[in-house]
Amino acid sequence: MKVKILTIVILTLFIVSCSSSDNDPEPEAILGCTDPNSNNYTASATQDDSSCEYGTAKNLEIPEIFSNLLLPPLIPSNNPQTIEGIALGRQLFYEKKLSGDGTQACASCHFAEFSFVDPDRFSTGITGAVGTRNSMPIYNLAWNFENKYFWDGRALGIEGQALGPVENPIEMNNTWPNAVATLQDTPNYPDLFAQAFGTTTITKELITKAIAQFERTIISGNSRFDQYLLGDNGALTVSEINGFNVFMDEDRGDCFHCHGSESNPLWTDNIFHNNGLDTSFEDLGLGMVTGDPLDNGKFKSPSLRNLAYTAPYMHDGRFETLEEVINHYSEGLVYSETIDPLMKNIAQGGAQLTEADKTDLKVFLLSLSEPGFTTNPDFQDPN
Ligand code: HEC
Ligand code: HEC
């Protein structure tokens, strides 16, 4: 009996001592940024949690009309705007080395002087292949709260969008490994990436982050119509004001449901509609992305800012002038199964606007274009 008790006591002591040594407090990992070269180095951190920030923070310059009426811009927490990141992104936007044969940059189809569209109906890629859609303008992307890009919304996020063109065979026709390797071997780029992102190792993710930072700075919010809304009654002519009334009038233009209004200064809803262009669809638009036949023939409503610079119009650039666009809505609408219910005068082809209303609608639309936007020195080729 005594022996038994002793054995239990010894065993218990053994177990307790063993387990107590197991319980010795492991030094707990302190998460944080462990890079001494970053802005937010935490000396006590023992494990990096990829929160290091580099560069000099730079807020977007938000137009007054946007801060009055819109939510703050969408900026992903893992890609804050910095002076160095924006400068690098601008360099990359104009960088032909991103393309397979070094001849084409983003800017080859997105020209600052045309509010970042291509004045050609269809852009030509490096192999000479021609696309089937009109290039899209780039501005106010940080307020696209839907965050879906392209005419059919197939790309999510601005960073995500920028992954596409480099490998698209009818655009820059490169591979990402090749584009990355080319930049890695180009003097200055590794340093520029280090300044913006704290590493000389270039990746496609960092390239698209920088491009997205630059794109977010491309903001247009100072047209004559904006000045009018901000209280400058003399900023518009009588004809332009009447045009705005046509735009807002449910019995005439009735454009505002999809294209913004005095309370939505983006002049788009950034969502997808069939606006009565075709009876059947060669290009399925949103339907191609979702696979849902109810989405066939739907495309993203474009913003109506800067139309003075962005002809031709529609996803396939079918209309060369605003007169043609207005005639389409006035008497050219055609029926198809997915037609938007807002195209309510479809039975007679449209709202049948008077010639005077058409003229006024056109001059109103043009009052949404911002003089000086296309020549803003911050958006031009830095070289
Ligand atoms: C060969 C011409 C071409 C090149 C090069 C090109 N784009 Fe585009 N871009 C287009 C066309 C055409 C569209 C519309 C395509 C679609 O909807 O399928 C488009 C759409 C976009 C959009 C969508 C805008 C929106 O509101 O949805 C963005 C942003 C954009 N391009 C940025 C870029 C960037 C960044 C690069 C360089 C990495 C680039 N593009 C290179 C032709 C081009
Ligand atoms: C039901 C929503 C809806 C309504 C209402 C609507 N639009 Fe549109 N609009 C669109 C869509 C969607 C597109 C792009 C269609 C495409 O390319 O296939 C578009 C394209 C345009 C474009 C071409 C812009 C460009 O950059 O290519 C202009 C200009 C335009 N609309 C003006 C108007 C005017 C003016 C009215 C009123 C008379 C109007 N829209 C009513 C949805 C609408």
Per-10-residue mean pLDDT for the chain, 383 residues long? Answer: 54 48 73 91 92 93 98 95 98 98 97 96 93 97 97 97 96 97 97 96 98 98 98 97 98 97 97 98 97 98 98 98 98 98 95 98 98 97 96
- 15-54 burial by CB neighbour count: b if 16+ within 10 A, else e? eeeeeeeeeeeeeeeeebbbbeebeeebeebeeeeeebbb
Q: Is 255 in the pocket of ligand 2 (CB under 6 A)?
A: yes
Q: Which ligand is nearest to the CA of 289?
A: 1
Which residues lie closer than 8 Å to 133 by C-beta, 6 or more apart? Answer: 122, 151, 283, 315, 316, 317
Q: Is 99 in the pocket of ligand 1 (CB under 6 A)?
A: no
- Residue 51 is predicted with a pLDDT of 84
- Residue 50 is predicted with a pLDDT of 82
- Residue 164 is predicted with a pLDDT of 96
User: Structural domain boundaries of the chain?
Assistant: 2-48, 64-219, 224-366
Q: Give, as one character, the DSSP assignment of residue 72.
A: P
- How far does the chain reach from its first CA to its final CA, in angstroms? 94
Locate tokens 């780039």: which residue? 138
Q: Give, as one character, the DSSP assignment of residue 103.
A: -
How far apart CA 27 and CA 353 sit, in angstroms, is 76
Q: Please state the length of the chain.
A: 383
How far apart CA 261 and CA 253 sit, in angstroms, is 12
How far apart CA 362 and CA 206 sit, in angstroms, is 42
- Residue 16 is predicted with a pLDDT of 47
How far apart CA 45 and CA 77 sit, in angstroms, is 20
Nearest to 356 by CA among 245, 225, 233: 245
- Residue 37 is predicted with a pLDDT of 86
Residue 192 Cα to ligand 1 midpoint, Å, equals: 24
Q: Is 136 in the pocket of ligand 2 (CB under 6 A)?
A: no
Residue 10 Cα to ligand 2 midpoint, Å, equals: 86
Instruction: Establish how many alpha carbons lie within 13 A of residue 207's alpha carbon, considering only the half-sphere containing its beta carbon.
Output: 28
Residue 215: helix, strand or coil by DSSP? Answer: helix
pTM beyond 0.75, yes or no: yes
CA quadruple 208, 90, 119, 267: dihedral, nearest 10: 80
Q: Which long-range contacts (CB under 8 A, 24 or more apart) does 378-381 make?
A: 378/90, 378/217, 379/90, 379/112, 379/217, 379/218, 380/112, 381/94, 381/107, 381/112
Residue 301 Cα to ligand 2 midpoint, Å, equals: 6
Query: Taken in order 269, 270, 274, 277, is the CA torsion positive or negative?
Result: positive
- Residue 22 is predicted with a pLDDT of 54
- Residue 334 is predicted with a pLDDT of 98
In sequence order, what are the beta bridge partners of 47?
Answer: 31
Enter the tokens of residue 6.
């002793």
Nearest to 117 by CA among 377, 328, 302: 302
Query: Taken in order 247, 249, 255, 256, is the CA torsion positive or negative?
Result: positive
- Residue 20 is predicted with a pLDDT of 47
- Contact, 124 vs 130, CB < 8 A? yes
Q: Is 159 in the pocket of ligand 1 (CB under 6 A)?
A: no
Instruction: Give backbone dihedrals phi and psi of 101, rounded to 5 degrees, phi first.
Output: -115, 15
Residue 82: helix, strand or coil by DSSP? Answer: strand
3.40.50.2300, 3.40.50.300, 1.10.760.10, 2.60.120.620: CATH of 224-366:
1.10.760.10
- Residue 26 is predicted with a pLDDT of 74
CATH number given to 64-219: 1.10.760.10
Nearest CA to ligand 1 atom 42: 135
